[in-house]
Amino acid sequence: MSEAKRVIVLSVDRLRTQFLGCYGNAWIATPAIDRLACESIVFDDAHASGPNLTDFFQSAWHPAAREWIAGATSTFISDDAEATALAGAAGFAEVIELPSGVGAAQAEDLEETHLASVFAAATEQLLQTPHEANLFWLHIGSLGQVWDAPRALRERYHEDDDAPLPEFVEPPCKLLAANFDPDERWGCALAYAAQISTFDACLDLFLEQLRTSALWSNATFLLCGVRGYPLGEHRRVGPFDESLYGELLHVPWIMRLPSAAQAQQRRPELTSAEDLAAIIHGAAPTARERLTFSSAEEETALRTREWFLRRTIRAGEPRVELYVKPDDRWEVNNVHDRCRDVVEELLAAPIQSLPSPGR
């Protein structure tokens, strides 16, 4: 990969891999993302750095990356106050905080959505940046703040025999009952799907303006998820307890090089935010055999190409789950009892086993 003169990063919190067409989803329309993927390198096994927003940015802006940021004419713009605070500490030359989407009402049409306002502000700022500016970073937090997609978009995914169309705008955060009603889970997924369609439509307009500007010819453009959004898998909806499962950890990365070089490549490596700066600047992803994750809830997880292991401690008692990858995509079939030798091997690995909780 050749080094680009300009880098445009779009990081999106709570963007789920499983809801995008280029990652295999067949029921939600994401034409803008899919078109971008056709011009890009798609990373199939990219992962969040952990359950917190700071995990991502601390990994992405590690010391070597901070030298790159500080040495660039750089702009960071976001609707998330936590992200802008982190960007200021990281050394961005310009940091712009946009209003958050918290408390917004359901929009009447696409132009009234919070996402539309964020993309409009970002477009205006980007097109006004000096020609020599070489790093523009837009971070969107609103998929975790507000689901204000127009009713028409929710109706697109609603069938006549479904439960009533969901009316909520605040993203749900709860633990479903053990015997939950499937309609309750479906309503959450439907509302999220409408929000993904809103994001895709706004992204389409954003990219259209970039493609007709002088910025596009020599720019590397990276769309990367930060964290996913659980939608009832393992009974969690939203950031209820940030349990370390794939619906939170597996995120999309799509990188378009100048002139769409190396388009339609799929990269299978295990990658995380620590790899972002190197990949953007032409290096291959670090050859990793495993990724480790931890949370403050006495929970750790380990991902290899073949396995996903999750370990929790409740009331002093450890519980271990093991899932076969990539076959068990949704981590449904816990094979811990049948593969105890694998569990022992993973926990006894020379890379200091799993990280301690809360690290």
- Which value, in Å, is the radius of gyration of the alpha carbons in the chain? 20
Residues constituting the chain: 359
Q: What is the mean pLDDT of the chain?
A: 91
Tokens of 262: 């190396």
48 close to 224: Cβ distance less than 8 angstroms: no
pLDDT (mean) for 183-210: 97
**pLDDT at site 73:** 86
Share of the chain above pLDDT 90, in %: 80
Helix (H, G, I), strand (E, B) or coil at 320: strand
Domain positions in the chain are 6-288, 292-347
Ranking 56-70, 109-123, 322-336, 345-359 by mean pLDDT, the lowest is: 345-359
What does 29-94 look like in DSSP terms, one character per residue? --HHHHHHHHTSEEEEEEB-SSSSHHHHHHHHT-HHHHHHHHTS-EEEEES-HHHHHHHHHHT-SE
Tell which residue, 56, 57, 97, 89, has the closest CA to residue 70.
89
pTM, to two decimals: 0.93
Looking at the domain covering 6-288, what would its CATH class be?
alpha beta
The long-range contacts involving 264-270, CB below 8 angstroms and separated by at least 24 positions, are: 264/38, 264/40, 265/41, 265/42, 266/41, 266/42, 266/44, 267/41, 267/42, 267/43, 267/44, 268/44, 268/45, 268/305, 269/43, 269/45, 270/45, 270/47, 270/303, 270/304, 270/305
H or E segment to which residue 222 belongs? strand 219-225
Cβ neighbours of residue 331 under 8 Å, at least 6 residues apart?
233, 234, 245, 246, 308, 310, 321, 323
Helix (H, G, I), strand (E, B) or coil at 343: helix
Helix (H, G, I), strand (E, B) or coil at 261: coil
d(CA 302, CA 300): 7
Tell which residue, 217, 335, 278, 346, has the closest CA to residue 1.
278
d(CA 116, CA 122): 10
pLDDT bin (cut points 50, 70, 90) of residue 1 is very low
Give, in order, the Cα–Cα distances in Å from 32 to each of 80, 139, 204: 24, 18, 5
- Per residue in 219-235, pLDDT (tens digit) is 999 999 999 999 999 99
- Per residue in 22-72, pLDDT (tens digit) is 999 999 999 999 999 999 999 999 999 999 999 999 999 988 888 778 777
Q: Are strands 41-46 and 265-271 parallel, antiparallel or unpaired?
A: parallel
Tokens of 352: 């200091």
Geometric angle at alpha carbon 353, from 53 and 57, rounded to 5°: 15
d(CA 259, CA 264): 13
